[in-house]
Amino acid sequence: MQNKYHLQCKQCNYITPNLEAWFEQGQKCPKCHSKWSEAWYESDYKQLLELIKTPAKSLWHYFPFLPLMSEKHIISKNEGTVPIERWTFLEEFAKKQYGLNINVHVCRNDLNGGTGTFKDLGGTMAASVFSEIGIKQYCIASTGNSATAYSKYLSLANISCSVFMPKDTIKASEATISACGQQVFRVMGDYAKAKEIAADYSKAHNIPMSIGNVDPIRVEAKKTMVFEWLRQMDKFPDVYIQSVSGGTGPIAIDKGVREASTVFPELKNPRMLLVQSSGCDPMVQAWGKAESEGFPEGFEKVYPIIENPKTDVPTLATGHPYNYPILAKLVKNSGGSFVRMQESKLVPVGKLVAYEQGVLLGPASVVCVAGFFNALKENLIKNGETVLLNTGEGINRAPEFLQQMVYTTRDVHHVEECSPHSIDDFRAQLWEDAVMR
């Protein structure tokens, strides 16, 4: 027994004493079978007031509020505390085009030390917890980034991980997992099919499997985003923009805000603008329908399922949006919305960000920036607001995407064919392609 934290079932309030017991009971509530339990801490939240004043190397800075008993089990690659940048070119655009004075901040998860994605937060938490409680085998179904992060961190902890990926997963993700010595099973089907086979494998071999977006391990890792905003930003964001797949991000933010509000009673969720690409947008479709009907009672339970989605962003290809009922309520209560971006804008927006900011984003991150432009167009951002974009990955996730960004090359045979250019000459066209057309 211990008393640092416990887990509480969201449905029936059943208390599970710790993660060891949680795994023993099959990662679910033994009373009502819900998979959604939340961790709550005995630690005094006054400590948080101190922690947000001091430099942090990783999310383990918030150790008193994380479900690990001993710091000696931490397996970290300095993740979860990436510097939040200010992107003034987006502010200038909002001012020029819409007359809005806004602050635009970007949390660049490509700077995380593990695999350079948003998923490194869950990776460090899983590897550390599993080391502590003695899990030696694990399995996960993933569209790419989660499995990549888990594979790397679990290999650092000498834990074996079996990964089930949909057929269309990006090759670079598969290669990273394989290179770490973890087993890849490429499932001939979509993400839902990969999850189904993984679940059967988990049962057949009695190997614990990631339970998805409400997994307390992932939620507890990602809730530290909120603590980092308090630590790094002068003003808590009014608007939060993220590309969404399964929805751990928003679920974790809501959890982090509820925890931090113990010492910041005024704190509330930012307006959540969750972006999906046109190739796989079941949540945007569901939201659009609900909005047109005036959000009738039970609107959050109505959503389409897209089988075998055809998309250039396989990382976000959750065609069956299991958690839409949770997310739709969260988004509605925050005053936010779901936003669609057209996949034809992926390369143009990626090129624009590289040109204006010198940052090469992966496609799932470009979805987020394109969502910002569409949010402006749809009047979802107000004057004076602080906006935070959470970009989940860099270009190393998608070398094929990078290769589509070539646009200045000229094939030449003689020096006479070569003349200097002015870098400014590209600007107008890039903006035109990214946002005007």
Ligand X SMILES: Cc1ncc(COP(=O)(O)O)c(C=O)c1O
Which residues make beta-bridge pairs with 184?
163
Question: For residue 111, what are its two tokens?
Answer: 């700077």
Where along the sequence are the contacts to Zn ion (CB under 5 A)?
Answer: 9, 11-12, 14, 29, 31-32, 34
Per partner kind, with CB cut-offs from 5 to 8 A, the member of ligand X, Zn ion, none near residue 159 is none
Nearest to 59 by CA among 68, 130, 46, 105: 68
Name the one residue in this structure whose structure tokens are 């834990």.
159
Task: Between 16 and 350, name the residue whose CB sits nearer to ligand X.
Answer: 350
Quote the least distance from Cβ 5 to Zn ion, whole Å.
17
When asked if residue 392 is in the footprint of ligand X (CB under 6 A), the reply is yes
Please pick, from the candidates 290, 331, 364, 434, the single residue that binds ligand X as defined by CB under 6 A.
364
Task: Between 13 and 101, name the residue whose CB sits nearer to Zn ion.
Answer: 13
For residue 9, the SS3 value is: strand
Name the one residue in this structure whose structure tokens are 């339990």.
37
Task: Between 11 and 70, name the residue whose CB sits nearer to Zn ion.
Answer: 11
Q: Cα–Cα–Cα angle for 107, 373, 328, nearest 5°?
A: 75
Task: Between 76 and 146, name the residue whose CB sits nearer to ligand X.
Answer: 146
Per partner kind, with CB cut-offs from 5 to 8 A, the member of ligand X, Zn ion, none near residue 436 is none
Q: In b/e form, how buried is each residue of 270-303, taking b as 16+ CB within 10 angstroms?
A: bbbbbbbbbbbbbbbbbbeebeeeeeeeebbeeb
Nearest to 191 by CA among 277, 20, 320: 320
C-alpha 81: how far from its chain's center? 14
Per partner kind, with CB cut-offs from 5 to 8 A, the member of ligand X, Zn ion, none near residue 372 is none
| Residue 37, CA atoms < 13 Å, CB-side half-sphere | 31
For residue 108, the SS3 value is: strand
* Residue 233 near residue 200, CB atoms below 8 Å: no
Could you give the C-alpha distances from 7 to 20, 330, 426, in angstroms and in order?
11, 21, 54
Quote the least distance from Cβ 367 to ligand X, whole Å.
8
d(CA 281, CA 274): 11
Quote the least distance from Cβ 44 to ligand X, whole Å.
29
When asked if residue 269 is in the footprint of ligand X (CB under 6 A), the reply is no
Quote the least distance from Cβ 361 to ligand X, whole Å.
9
Task: Between 38 and 312, name the residue whose CB sits nearer to Zn ion.
Answer: 38
Task: Between 131 and 321, name the residue whose CB sits nearer to ligand X.
Answer: 321
Residues of span 206-235 touching ligand X by CB under 6 A: 213
* Residue 315 near residue 391, CB atoms below 8 Å: no
Quote the least distance from Cβ 237 to ligand X, whole Å.
16
Per partner kind, with CB cut-offs from 5 to 8 A, the member of Zn ion, ligand X, none near residue 103 is none
Quote the least distance from Cβ 8 to Zn ion, whole Å.
9
Quote the least distance from Cβ 21 to Zn ion, whole Å.
14
When asked if residue 191 is in the footprint of ligand X (CB under 6 A), the reply is no
Quote the least distance from Cβ 271 to Zn ion, whole Å.
31
Strands 5-9 and 183-187: unpaired
d(CA 316, CA 171): 15
Q: Closest residue to ligand X, Cβ-based?
A: 392
> Binding mask 15-54 vs ligand X (x if CB under 6 A, - otherwise)?
----------------------------------------
Residues of span 313-342 touching ligand X by CB under 6 A: 315
# residues near ligand X by CB under 6 A: 19
Quote the least distance from Cβ 22 to Zn ion, whole Å.
12
Q: Going edge to edge, which strands form the sheet with 160-166?
A: 137-141, 160-166, 183-187
Task: Between 131 and 166, name the residue whose CB sits nearer to ligand X.
Answer: 166
Quote the least distance from Cβ 230 to ligand X, whole Å.
20
Residues of span 116-135 touching ligand X by CB under 6 A: 117-119
Residues of span 233-252 touching ligand X by CB under 6 A: 243-249
Nearest to 275 by CA among 363, 349, 350, 372: 372
Q: Cα–Cα–Cα angle for 15, 124, 178, nearest 5°?
A: 120
* Residue 161 near residue 182, CB atoms below 8 Å: yes
Per partner kind, with CB cut-offs from 5 to 8 A, the member of Zn ion, ligand X, none near residue 246 is ligand X
Per partner kind, with CB cut-offs from 5 to 8 A, the member of Zn ion, ligand X, none near residue 299 is none
For residue 271, the SS3 value is: strand
* Sites of contact with ligand X (CB under 6 A): 117-119, 143, 145-146, 213, 243-249, 315, 364-365, 392-393
